[in-house]
Amino acid sequence: MKVLVEVYATLYDKLGWRSKEVNFNSNEVSLEDLIKSIPDLYNTLINDLGDLTELINNYIVFINGIHAQFKNGLKTVLRDGDKVAIFPPVAGG
Amino acid sequence: MPGGYTGRLARIDLWSCKVTYESLPDEVLRKWIGGRGLGVYLALKEIPPKVDPLSPSNKAYVMTGPLTGIAGVPASGRWCSVTKSPLTNSIHDAHSGGKFGPYLKFAGFDGIVLEEASERPVYLWVHDGKVEIRDAHHLWGMDTHSVTDAITEELSAEVGKSEAKEIKVACIGPAGENLARIACIINDKSRAAGRGGHGAVWGSKKVKAIAVYGKSKPSIADLDKFREASAAAMKKIKESPITSEALPKYGTAVLVNIINNAGIFPTKNFKTGYFPEANAISGETIASTIMDWDKQKEEVCWGCPIGCARYTRITKPPFTGEGGGPEYETVWSLGAQTGTSDLAAVSKAHYLTNELGLDGISMGHVIGTFMELVELGKIPKEVLRGLKAEWGNGEVLVELVWRTAYRSGIGCDLAEGALRLAQKYGAPEVAMVVRGQELPAYDPRGAQGHGLAYATSNRGGCHLRAYLISPEVLGVPKLVDRFDTKGKAELVKHFQDVFAVVDSLVVCKFDTFALWTEDFASLLSAVTGWDITPKELEVIGERIYNAERAFNVLSFGDGKDYDTLPKRLLEEPMPEGPAKGHITRLPEMLGEYYMLRGWIDGRPSRIKLEELGLKWLADRLEEEGLIPK
Ligand code: SF4
């Protein structure tokens, strides 16, 4: 299955890419699996947050536009065609 | 006199050219603080609520607050205009950054009251504790940049060339002179007291500008306590990744991608919440393409450690131009709202709104309304005169901004705002407004609490009475389910009351991403010498919110019929994206909101008003038969 990952703001600056399509053979892929499968993303997040478990409460993580908190957090099982968007803390008005 | 204040208000009778000075009693200051709060208090005492906002009997208050211009209070370079709005007929406050606010205080004043109307164009020269009324005949007709330069040049002869940069100017452009109901006041060339048509009120009084200059710094009552409170507040600002990283780097338009991803980025007049080309107008794109980082530093408001301001430049014709901004709200209004993804066109239209003195939010919004009316075939060909007002046409944006400022052709109708425009062409349902003010850049179908905040906003469609996007989307201070209506009434009321205080202090709302009532109470106590608690601040906020609502009840019978949203947002499900299928479920929240407010059918009850020390206001409503039973 295919999942699209997009990163924004400082995360985009640090990684140098904006979006990535990731292919998996299995259909049992969690949000955590997805992040761990992209080394530079994983390393940057660990560097920023210390621990991946901090991601959900400190960053804004959308799965198809819905906050991962209101799904199953890092354990959310992804489906073919899902879009994951990751934003460091941002605000405006 | 408590610290933080100058203790002086200048009252300008523009008809008789008389200037008087007065001070306000301490107990009034403690009850209403300053800025927005003091403004509504004075308006209730002085403006006949039913007055035509563009008549001489309306008044315009140019206000600071006790924290304005205090070095060490984060983001305190703000000022606030209060008047009865020609757009909404409500009491209305509009806020602006830059440097003008602190310098008004340094010139010796907490505020200026503009009364009556002048026969000929004038500007005010406010310096060293006095106000002079000067002829502005030669300045009438100028855009905001030209008038700022001309006045600075003129007055530098008096203060000395080396001091010229210390003169700060707030002014109106042609839009204000032409009484556009969406005209704003511009200070420091690119900061706007934007919403509600305050520029038209100045225009109706023939006040072209106010120039301020002075060196007197406000006193601080308890310096040791202040140092402590200031250090704690600054630390929080520095430690918050939002105020220390995201806002300085990308500006407010960093929100474009997140709000679009959430499916609530209003597109083509709120037909949908997803704009496929959003990234082209995002903060990230602005930062990497059109920013001038050296000039950006000059754009930052006085005393601001956050620095969200932008300075950008378009070098390629046909949209060449430069200036402060654009911000999230204007890239939305001139961009997604009109279906335009050409950043150059959007930026050019944005620069022009500042130069001509138009509220960027309302201007772009109204163009979107117009484009939908054209699409629906509501605008006759002879009115269009060949204008291709189609979604996404950047050239048309620029032309319509010009036309609106000068009320030329169809611009005359656009200058009236979205509601009057849509009514005139027989489709009022197309106007995405609350109390006649155009809604800003969030579709509430995917943020239920934000919908309640829009509907109950005393100044009409506004995201800054209660920014529920913060908890509902950004997770600040804590994420709540944006599709749920439970608990939203309480959150909205709390945010409304706290924001009323922030607007009265007067400091920037972006402080609230890192600071809250306990921080503001510490800062205010140290500066004024009062021993003020967070609870007292919340009561003050509640008092202000009730007083504003009472003014509106007296003005146009405000109440539950106005606490609503456009039909599209209440009845038409979002067609696509993460919020697909949702409407704003306002009735699920409104009853609880009224209960928490102590209101009956959207009007303050006697019990509530008396509890807030506003018996005189309850009596006044009673006399008019407007107190709910
Ligand atoms: S955060 Fe932005 S708008 Fe607020 S005071 Fe600072 S520069 Fe001005």
Residues of A with CB under 8 A from a CB of B: 6, 8-10, 12, 57, 60, 62, 64-67, 69-70, 85, 87-93
Q: Which residues line ligand 1 (CB under 6 A)?
A: B 75, 77, 97, 300-301, 304, 306-309, 508, 510
What is the enclosing helix (H) or strand (E) of B127? strand B122-127
Spatial separation of the C-alpha atoms in residues B124 and B134, rounded to whole Å: 6
User: Inter-chain contact B262–A65, Cβ cutoff 8 Å?
Assistant: yes
Please list every residue in chain A whose beta carbon sits closer than 8 Å to the beta carbon of residue B245. Answer: 10, 88-89
Mean local confidence (pLDDT), B458-485: 97
* Mean pLDDT computed over B274-283: 98
State how far the Cα of B7 lies from the Cα of B609, in Å rounded to an integer: 28
Pocket test for ligand 1, best of B237, B304, B512 (most atoms within 8 A of CB): B304
Which residue's C-alpha comes closest to atom 4 of ligand 1?
B508
What would the mean pLDDT of B340-369 be, rounded to a whole number? 98
Give me B161's structure tokens.
């060339």
pLDDT at B591: 98
As given in the structure block, the two tokens for residue B140 are 């009438």
Ligand 1 centroid to residue B511 C-alpha, Å: 9
The per-residue pLDDT for B107 is: 98
Instruction: Read off the pLDDT of residues B160-184 as tens digits, 9 standing for 90 and up.
Output: 999 999 999 999 999 999 999 999 9
| pLDDT above 90 coverage of chain B, percent | 98
Which tens digit of pLDDT belongs to each residue from B490-511? 999 999 999 999 999 999 999 9
Q: What is the 3-state secondary structure (H, E, C) of B33-48?
A: CCHHHHHHHHHHHHCC
Beta strands in B433-517 (DSSP E): 433-434, 437-438
DSSP state at residue B253: G
pLDDT at B6: 97
> Across chain A, what does the average pLDDT equal?
95
Q: What is the pLDDT of residue B244?
A: 84
Pairing mode, strands A83-87 and A2-7: parallel
Nearest to A6 by CA among B291, B282, B333: B282
Residue B318 and residue B261 in contact, taking contact as beta carbons nearer than 8 Å: no
Q: Residues B575-620: pLDDT tens digits?
A: 999 999 999 999 999 999 999 999 999 999 999 999 999 999 999 9
What pLDDT does B416 receive?
Answer: 98
Q: How confident is the prediction for chain B on average, in pLDDT?
A: 97
Residue A93 has pLDDT above 80, yes or no: no
Q: Are B170 and B185 contacting, i.e. CB atoms less than 8 angstroms apart?
A: yes
> Quick one: pLDDT at residue B530?
98
Q: Is B382 exposed, middle or buried (0-12, 13-18, 19+ CB in 10 A)?
A: exposed
Q: Residue B241: which pLDDT band, with cuts at 50, 70 and 90?
A: confident
Mean pLDDT, rounded, for A73-82? 97
ipTM above 0.95?
yes
The pLDDT value given to residue B216: 95
For ligand 1, pick from B301, B310, B507 the residue to mutate: most ligand atoms within 8 Å of CB.
B301
pLDDT at A91 over 90: no
CB-nearest to B284 from A9, A70, A85 is A9
Q: What is the arithmetic mean of pLDDT over B446-454?
A: 98
Q: What is the mean pLDDT of residues B410-415?
A: 98
Residues of B within 8 A of A85 (CB-CB) are 257-258, 261
Of the pLDDT bands very low, low, confident and very high (cuts 50, 70, 90), residue A92 is: confident
Report if pTM > 0.95. Answer: yes
Asked whether the beta carbons of residue B249 and residue A10 sit closer than 8 angstroms, the reply is: yes
Task: Return the HEC string of B158-216.
Answer: HHCHHHHHHCEEEECCHHHHCCCCCECEEECCCEEECHHHHHHHHHHCCEEEEEEECCC
pLDDT, tens only, B27-79: 999 999 999 999 999 999 999 999 999 999 999 999 999 999 999 999 999 99
Domains plus CATH for chain A?
2-87 (3.10.20.30)
Q: What is the pLDDT of residues B526-541, one digit of tens each?
A: 999 999 999 999 999 9
Please state, in angstroms and rounded to a whole number, the distance separating the CA atoms of residues B194 and B182: 8
What domains sit in chain B, N to C, each tagged with a CATH number?
Answer: 8-213 (3.60.9.10), 247-434 (1.10.569.10), 444-623 (1.10.599.10)
pLDDT in the model for residue B4: 98
Query: Cα distance from A77 to chain B (closest Cα, Å)?
Result: 17
| Backbone torsions φ then ψ of B100, nearest 5 degrees | -55, -45
Least Cα distance to B470 among B434, B495, B489, B445 occurs for B495
Looking at residue B243, its pLDDT comes to 85
For B310-332, what is each residue's pLDDT tens digit? 999 999 999 999 999 999 999 99
- Is there a contact between A8 and B258 (Cβ–Cβ < 8 Å)? yes
The CA-atom distances, in angstroms, between B128 and each of A26, A27, B105, B159 are: 75, 73, 10, 11
Least confident of B247-251, B345-349, B455-459, B587-591: B247-251
In the block, which residue shows the tokens 């794109």? B285
